[in-house]
Amino acid sequence: MSLMKKMLGAAATLALSTGAMLAEPAIIFDLGGKFDKSFNEAAFGGATRWAEETGNTFREIELQSEAQREQALRRFAEGGSNPIVMTGFAFADALTEVADDYPDTSFVLIDMVVDKPNVRSVVFNEHEGSYLVGMMAAKASESGTVGFIGGMDIPLIRKFACGYVQGVKAANPDAKVIQNMTGTTPAAWNDPVKGSELTKAQISQGADVVYAAAGGTGVGVLQTAADENILSIGVDSNQNHLHPGKVLTSMVKRVDNAVYAAFTEGPGLEKGFQVMGLNNDGVGYAVDDNNATLVTADMTAAVEEAKAKIVSGEITVHDYMSDNSCPVN
Amino acid sequence: MDAMPKWAEVILIPLISLILAFFLSGLVILAIGENPIRALQIMISGALGSTYGWGYTLYYATNFIFTGLAVAVAFQARLFNIGGEGQAALGGLGVALICLYIPFPHWTMALPAAILGAAIFGAFWAMIPGYLQARLGVHVVITTIMFNFIGASILNYLLVDILRPPTSMNPATARFPDATNLPSLHDVLSVVGIPFSRAAPANISFFIAILACIVIWVLIWHTRLGYQIRAFGQSESAAKYAGISPEKIIMVTMLISGGLAGMMAINNVMGEAERLVQNAVEGAGFIGIAVALMGRSHPIGVFLAAILFGFLYQGGAELSLETSIPSDLIVVIQALVILFTGALDDMVRAPLKSMFLMFRKPEATPKAPKPAE
């Protein structure tokens, strides 16, 4: 009897512990890697924050090959992970294939839309946030020339650039924007040396504020801007602290909040389409001690006014993705 | 006669190198506080323990067979084609254009056309460096690697601005029509009654890769052209004296090499992704160099080395799925294998050679070792 009890108890404990393990959420990082100082790292930050606050654990994997997308998704789903968060638009195709096979698993896709009953799609209005930092760049510029340095030349980065240019022109219609992309291979996301060279080239053309939307490459942009004594604008995470007093602001994209929210809501999270914009602080510009002296009252007033108008719909920032073109450049 | 019997040369040296590489990897895994035995178990059972694992291992291996053969063929003529990456990327473009714009009724018709398209595009991308080498003496090592970047830029432009469906954010082509989808190993093997995992990406291209190995073996060792290629590789001046045109051999070898690299696209683009995505090659072009080195530029060696690297890729993926070993460490393990089997080959060879000399029968006179190749 007692032996039986013990065995049952052991079985129950085992069942419980597997049960606890099964409820683990999972996150899949895209090929850029977890520590890209930008997008994926922000997502990792959100997951870590959740783990620290709740004391729970999560499963994670950094992809190394395209063929692993579906593999990782299926493995996590079959292993009982729920919800499963994916960072990056490139997962859309794999998720479309996989989602129907695991109707009880909740999937969260960041940066792209997949229309399935068990998928939450989170997209960010990067063009709106870029618009605001564009206005600030134009106001901070003395030469009337500002720069944009993108990572890899893909539609998403053109969306950043387009919003930025619109913001610059809104604040100063005569301003000139110099645009450069770092490269055409994934190496462009992590090439600080090239970022530095492009910054120097833009400075020689008169730019005195440079916005980097280039992942790890941006580290080189911000460094060179600080060395050459011009202003820079960070991206995704708040990068103001990298060079206090030299980084005008950062266009923050709260990927961490999206991951944190998904993990907190757990398997029963609300599905559907979620837009993270200025209205719900999904994107924005960062002001802290490091850049407080750089942001003038005039700047704040103008940007806050624009922000309110964008939220109310009075100003529409053109989204590059909507028609694959940008009205200004 | 060489100091070592052939079996030692082709089996013992790679095996010892491999064991050394795994031993060192084990130490690294131990250093970060994980259990190396368990890691090895996960890698082996994950990559070879099920048809699912085999499906991924063979999928990666198929890529590496093509790029490995590409490097091996060029190496027979002592040409170092390190542009497999760009040639495979262009091959992908060829496959994509054919699959997207020609309405095939069935995959049996699409596959030969796609192979042709992939080979032509890949060969074209190797042709320009080949021409520059043959006519102007511009070294292919320089030009092929530069062409990798030009290829990436062309593909980026086409995918972002031309081929991308306007509603999609992902720089990739539309999905290929269903009629061009290749049967997976599951479909192929179920015909003969062998159960195989449905989820794995390995497909019929694997058999094309084996076929390519055989064709290349016949070409290099049993045809006049193959003889010319090898003669040119051993000594350009002797080949010239024998009436072999160096220009012709360089061009033909580079075309074959580029075509093979391009043919990788039927596996990753047509077989797996069923669309052309950015960065579809993912370094397989460079792994091909290691595969060819390890396989001693012989089709059988390339085949075996490709399976080994397929194992490392899939085993590595399992490792990062099952343990907290960071993915960077898996790259370290792969690098150690490349280092030991490719670069540090002599470290194993020299002691092994003296060992064989020591145990040699007294009547055989030791001969000077073959000059390094």
Q: Is the pLDDT of residue A160 over 90?
A: yes
Share of chain A above pLDDT 70, in %: 93
Q: What's the complex ipTM?
A: 0.75
Residues A95 and A140 in one domain: no
Quick check: is B4 in a domain?
Answer: no
pLDDT the model gives residue B63: 97
Minimal Cβ distance to A65: which of B152, B160, B313: B313
CB contact under 8 A, A66 and B317: no
Measured between beta carbons, the chain A residues lying within 8 angstroms of B320 are 61-62, 64
At residue A1 the predicted structure's pLDDT band, cuts being 50, 70 and 90, is very low
Q: Is A214 helix (H, G, I), strand (E, B) or coil?
A: coil
d(CA B58, CA A191): 33
Output the average pLDDT for chain B. 90
Q: Is A85 helix (H, G, I), strand (E, B) or coil?
A: strand
Quick check: is B328 in a domain?
Answer: no
What number is the average pLDDT over the span A20-31? Answer: 76
Residues A148 and A212 in one domain: yes
Residues A176 and A236 in one domain: yes
Quick check: is A283 in a domain?
Answer: no
Quick check: is A285 in a domain?
Answer: no
Q: Is the pLDDT of residue A12 over 70?
A: no
d(CA A139, CA A173): 11
Residues A157 and A33 in one domain: no
**CB contact set of B79 (below 8 Å; sequence gap of 6+):** B133, B140, B233, B250, B253, B254, B257
What number is the average pLDDT over the span A162-169? Answer: 96
Quick check: is B353 in a domain?
Answer: no
Residues A165 and A309 in one domain: yes
pLDDT the model gives residue B4: 75
Q: Which domain holds residue A46?
A: 2-124+257-276
Phi-psi region of A33 (alpha: psi -120 to 50; beta: other; left: phi over 0): left
Q: Each residue of A215-259: pLDDT tens digit?
A: 889 999 999 999 999 999 999 888 999 999 999 999 999 999 999
Dihedral angle sign, alpha carbons of residues B121, B126, B128, B134: negative
Minimal Cβ distance to B153: which of A31, A93, A184: A184
Residues A50 and A74 in one domain: yes
Quick check: is B34 in a domain?
Answer: no
Whole-prediction pTM value?
Answer: 0.85
CB contact under 8 A, B321 and A72: yes
Residues A167 and A190 in one domain: yes
Quick check: is A288 in a domain?
Answer: no
Select from B56, B160, B175 the residue whose CB has the most chain A CBs within 10 Å, as the one to mutate to test that interface: B160
CATH number at residue A164: 3.40.50.2300
What number is the average pLDDT over the span B280-306? Answer: 91
Residues A306 and A197 in one domain: yes
Q: Which domain holds residue B61?
A: 56-309
Quick check: is B323 in a domain?
Answer: no
Count how many domains chain B has: 1
Quick check: is B342 in a domain?
Answer: no
Count how many domains chain A has: 2
pLDDT the model gives residue A89: 85
Residues A110 and A159 in one domain: no
Residue pair A159/A5 in contact (Cβ under 8 Å)? The answer is no
What number is the average pLDDT over the span A273-294? Answer: 91
Minimal Cβ distance to A184: which of B156, B172, B331: B156
Give the residue, B263 or B318, on which the prediction is more confident: B263
Minimal Cβ distance to A112: which of B157, B169, B326: B169
Q: Is A29 helix (H, G, I), strand (E, B) or coil?
A: strand
Distance from CA of A251 to the nearest CA of B (A): 21
At residue B66 the predicted structure's pLDDT band, cuts being 50, 70 and 90, is very high
What number is the average pLDDT over the span B82-107? Answer: 95
Quick check: is B146 in a domain?
Answer: yes
Quick check: is A281 in a domain?
Answer: no
d(CA A146, CA A197): 16
Cα separation values, B240 from A90, B234, B235, B237, B248, Å: 52, 11, 9, 5, 11
Residues A17 and A92 in one domain: yes
What number is the average pLDDT over the span A172-190? Answer: 89
CATH number at residue B255: 1.10.3470
Residue pair A94/A28 in contact (Cβ under 8 Å)? The answer is no
Please enumerate residues of B whose Cβ is less than 8 A from a Cβ of A: 56, 59-60, 149, 152-153, 155-157, 160, 164, 166, 169-172, 175, 199, 201, 268, 272-273, 275, 277-280, 282, 313, 316-317, 320-321, 326-327, 330-331
Quick check: is A86 in a domain?
Answer: yes
Residues A120 and A131 in one domain: no
Quick check: is B196 in a domain?
Answer: yes
Give the residue, B151 or A189, on which the prediction is more confident: B151
Residue given tokens 């240019």 in the structure block: A165
At residue B38 the predicted structure's pLDDT band, cuts being 50, 70 and 90, is very high
Phi-psi region of A281 (alpha: psi -120 to 50; beta: other; left: phi over 0): left
**CB contact set of B121 (below 8 Å; sequence gap of 6+):** B90, B91, B93, B94, B262
Q: Each residue of B190-232: pLDDT tens digit?
A: 888 888 888 889 999 999 999 999 999 999 999 999 999 999 9
d(CA B315, CA B22): 13
Chain A residue with CA closest to B53: the answer is A71
Angle at B119 between CA B287 and CA B179, to 5 degrees: 105
pLDDT the model gives residue B369: 54
Q: Each residue of B136-187: pLDDT tens digit?
A: 999 999 999 999 999 999 999 999 889 988 877 788 899 999 999 999 999 9
Residues A76 and A196 in one domain: no
Residue pair A124/A317 in contact (Cβ under 8 Å)? The answer is no
**CB contact set of A98 (below 8 Å; sequence gap of 6+):** A70, A73, A74, A77, A107
Quick check: is A10 in a domain?
Answer: yes
Measured between beta carbons, the chain B residues lying within 8 angstroms of A32 are none
Q: Is A72 on the interface with B (CB under 8 A)?
A: yes
d(CA B57, CA A81): 25
Quick check: is A329 in a domain?
Answer: no
Quick check: is A171 in a domain?
Answer: yes
At residue B83 the predicted structure's pLDDT band, cuts being 50, 70 and 90, is very high
Minimal Cβ distance to B279: which of A72, A155, A185: A185
Measured between beta carbons, the chain A residues lying within 8 angstroms of B172 are 93
Q: Is the pLDDT of residue A3 over 70?
A: no
